[in-house]
Amino acid sequence: MHFSQRGAHVAVLDNGSKRAWERELGVEPLVAIRSLDERVHIWQEISGRSIELFEGDLTDADFVHATLESFRPDTIVHYGEQPSAPYSMIDVRHATFTQANNVVGTLNLLFAMRDLTPDSHLVKLGTMGEYGTPDIDIEEGYLTVDHNGRSHTFLYPKTPGSMYHLSKVHDSHNMHFACRVWGLRATDLNQGVVYGLETEETVLDPRLVTSFHYDEVFGTALNRFCVQAVAGEPITVYGGGGQTRGYLNIRDTLACVALAVDNPAERGKMRVFNQFTETFTVLDLAERVREAAAQLGIAATVVHAENPRFEAEEHYYNPKHSGLVDLGLEPHLLSQELIDTMLQRIVDHRARIRPGSLVMNILWTPQPATGPTAGS
Amino acid sequence: MHFSQRGAHVAVLDNGSKRAWERELGVEPLVAIRSLDERVHIWQEISGRSIELFEGDLTDADFVHATLESFRPDTIVHYGEQPSAPYSMIDVRHATFTQANNVVGTLNLLFAMRDLTPDSHLVKLGTMGEYGTPDIDIEEGYLTVDHNGRSHTFLYPKTPGSMYHLSKVHDSHNMHFACRVWGLRATDLNQGVVYGLETEETVLDPRLVTSFHYDEVFGTALNRFCVQAVAGEPITVYGGGGQTRGYLNIRDTLACVALAVDNPAERGKMRVFNQFTETFTVLDLAERVREAAAQLGIAATVVHAENPRFEAEEHYYNPKHSGLVDLGLEPHLLSQELIDTMLQRIVDHRARIRPGSLVMNILWTPQPATGPTAGS
């Protein structure tokens, strides 16, 4: 909708798999989402602009090839992956599905681009979670290493924290190859944790609402904390809560993707942006939600739950993120007002909250831990 | 056979896929290989030792789980992947097959180890080709980086040169995760290019001969050059021939795997060995084969063919490889005598050489090259 509104001729590829995963796990977005078909019609009704629909699976090479042959895009914005770390950690089947699905879909795209639209620009959703939490500064995608009197610039080495995050690291290596060897152009957006409910387009009509997840599998920290507060459940911080991550408002995600699209990478280059606007500890976010809720008369508590993940809870974290700012990004920083607005919108839909999906206990290490300590 | 001879209780997992890929491409080993079943029986006849056989596919999680549940190995030596860079570059289907097959098979093993045999040691075949040819020294698996006054030790960053090599990089990241998070133990053997025809066990009976490929897809440089010389075909060096790689004798590969098995990695650690004994340029190898052939009265010529691959033809290359030497490896270095022996054995089987499979023209960049220059 964002690009269509800007006047672009837009097509959407989808196979509805996110909805299938929701059904599988018994979770659903806070506000019901209409079918893609309906949303396309509503968008046309409101904006007068049409969006083309290609229904199929990115892991089907013929479908991807046929779609690119028909549509011939200048730009491909690729969000079509299994996006949840907990989902990928449920068991071996969910892990291998996540990696095969994400890696094969992206490879099919890269080959179709090579053969049909080699000048098109791939804007691919990665994640800040690819990096992990190294003890040195996280640069934007590349790291120049001086070693034994010589120097080389590498893809920044990654230490990801789940089977899902690993799939994105694999994608980055595959895209880098396609740029180096085939001369394609790509932008890898290492996105932080997204929060927020609305974009400039979704507010045009309530039927265009976007997916807002608060469950353990597809929900992200701030969103989940707000829903826990409204539901009268404790705000659950995993472990000590010192885990620091990059965050951004959903409106800024669209601004970032638009900046990447408007300023394409050079042929032969995989450009990398670290796409977030601020860093917070998990505990800091929880406290902010608790305070904002209190001002609205909602008494929430913050509890430290056993961490189902394997991650360092106290660590150095200094990721650079100047690339998108240099292109003109003007961040919407996290304010009390924004949390208030989120809480109020959630109150409007509180009848739909399923408390059972707030904490689902998907464990990174399902057997008694036998390994070394996280962060060691 | 090597481990069985040493007294270990050995099981083999196989689904016969290498033979299927050979049939698909119309290539075959220089000497016909008997079925796995026959080889197991012949081995029992000769050595008095039995090898258990599990027929199935590593990408079948149930098969892998059931096998580990039944056999409960102390050590898992994992060679069960699609092993050819050219095969992975044929087209999108071969690329996605290679990555999904290799990545999913290894993940199924890691999960089964986690759930059933968390103390077992995985010895996994990687490749020196994972590293590419960076401008700094290649360390054994890890690189300590000093950056902005701080320091961190990373998995050595990789710049692999094919869809196959990428699959091994993905495996390394997945194994590293399994060691870090689940406390498994693994050794990643970044093997160089293997040459040679015989091991101590295959020479015990001609029916136990091992697979010797000379075709463009499954054959490696020295083997292929020897067969080209015997077949009266030109020895084809890709491009300038300055490409430098690590090589080792097939007997040393077994010695390396045995050293890794006898000295397992610690729990929670992925240990990495760079498994080769010498480096050569491709042109140097070709010249050595030409000279050895001349002494046997075979007049061979060396030609520079257009390079089907995308790789730097002149580059810095200084990979460390002390880990296995420290454990006691005594290399069989490449000698004129060894090349003589190889050439003579190939002469014995020259009637089976299929000249058409020596050069198959699988191109890394099938369309007119539009990208940057290799090595830039």
User: ipTM score of the complex?
Assistant: 0.96
How high is the mean pLDDT of chain B?
95
Residue A222 forms part of a structural domain? yes
A199-214 mean pLDDT: 95
Q: Which residues numbered 128-147 in A keep a CB inside 8 Å of some CB on B? A: 134-137, 143, 145-147
Q: What share of chain A is helix, strand, coil (3-state, %, to 5)?
A: 40, 20, 40
Name A226's Cβ contacts closer than 8 Å, sequence gap at least 6.
A214, A289, A293, A339, A342, A343, A346
Q: Encode pLDDT of B112-137 as tens digits.
A: 999 999 999 999 999 999 999 999 99
Where do the DSSP E strands lie in chain A? 10-14, 51-55, 75-78, 121-127, 142-147, 150-155, 185-191, 193-195, 235-238, 244-249, 270-275, 278-281, 302-305
> Which chain A residue is nearest to residue B173, measuring alpha carbons?
A166
Residues of B in contact with A369 (CB under 8 A): 183
**What's the first-to-final CA gap in chain A, in angstroms?**
45
Flag residues of chain B having pLDDT under 50: 369-376
Count of CB atoms situated within 10 Å of the CB of A226: 32
Measure B207 CA to nearest chain A CA, in Å: 38
Going A330 to A335 to A337 to A339, the CA torsion angle's sign is positive
Q: Is A138 exposed, middle or buried (0-12, 13-18, 19+ CB in 10 A)?
A: buried
Strand, helix or coil for residue B163: helix
B196/B212 Cα distance (integer angstroms): 8
At residue B367, the pLDDT reads 64
Alpha helix (H) residue ranges in A72-207: 85-88, 92-116, 163-182
How many domains does chain B contain in total? Answer: 1
Nearest residue, CB atoms, B108 vs list A92, A108, A182: A92
**Which chain A residues are closer than 8 Å to B59 by Cβ?**
96
A367 lies in a domain? no
DSSP letters, B347-374, are HHTGGG--GGGT-----SS-SPP-SPPT
CA count, 13 A, side-chain hemisphere, B309? 26
Answer yes or no: is B373 within a domain: no
Count Cβ atoms within 10 A of the Cβ of residue B231 and give its class: 0-12 exposed, 13-18 middle, 19 or more buried.
Answer: middle
State residue B360's pLDDT score. 87
pTM higher than 0.90: yes
A155 — contact with chain B (CB < 8 Å)?
yes
Residue B264 counted as domain residue: yes
Q: Which domain holds residue B186?
A: 2-357
Which of A111, A158, A177, A307 should be substituted to probe chain B, the one whose Cβ sees the most B Cβ atoms within 10 Å?
A: A177
Q: Is residue B126 within 8 angstroms of chain A, CB to CB?
A: no
Q: Is residue B214 part of a domain?
A: yes
Asked whether the beta carbons of residue B173 and residue A183 sit closer than 8 angstroms, the reply is no
Asked if A371's CB is within 8 angstroms of B268's CB, the reply is: yes
pLDDT tens profile A118-169: 999 999 999 999 999 999 999 999 999 999 999 999 999 999 999 999 999 9
Q: Note the pLDDT tens digit of each residue in A23-59.
A: 999 999 999 999 999 999 999 999 999 999 999 999 9
Residues of chain A contacting residue B157, judged by C-beta atoms under 8 Å apart = 143, 145, 154-157
> Which residue, among A66, A47, A50, has the nearest Cα to A58 in the 3D structure?
A66
Q: Is residue B71 within 8 angstroms of chain A, CB to CB?
A: no
Q: Could A370 and B182 be called an inter-chain contact, meaning their C-beta atoms sit closer than 8 Å? A: yes
Is residue A295 in a domain? yes
Amino acid at A53: L
Active site residue B281: no
Q: What is the largest CA-CA distance in chain B?
A: 64
Q: Is A368 among the domain residues?
A: no
Q: In angstroms, rounded to a whole number, what is the distance separating the alpha carbons of residues A317 and A132? A: 9
Q: What is the mean pLDDT of residues A265-269?
A: 98
- Among the residues of A117-192, which ranges form H helices? 163-182
Q: What is the CATH number of the domain that holds B29?
A: 3.40.50.720
User: CB distance from A375 to chain B under 8 Å?
Assistant: no
B147–A143 CB contact, under 8 Å:
yes
**Domain presence at residue B41:** yes
* Cα(A21)–Cα(A16) distance, integer angstroms: 9
- Decide if A371 and B108 are in contact by the 8 Å CB cutoff: no
Q: Spell out the residues 6+ positions from residue A74 whose beta carbon is closer than 8 angstroms to its own.
A: A120, A121
Q: What angle do CA A97, B73, B19 make, to 5 degrees?
A: 60
Does A91 contact B at CB distance below 8 Å? yes
Best mutation target among A170, A310, A318, A363 (most B Cβ atoms within 10 Å) is A170
Separation between Cα atoms, residue B1 and residue B202, nearest integer Å: 8
Mean pLDDT within A280-297: 97
Per-residue pLDDT, A367: 64
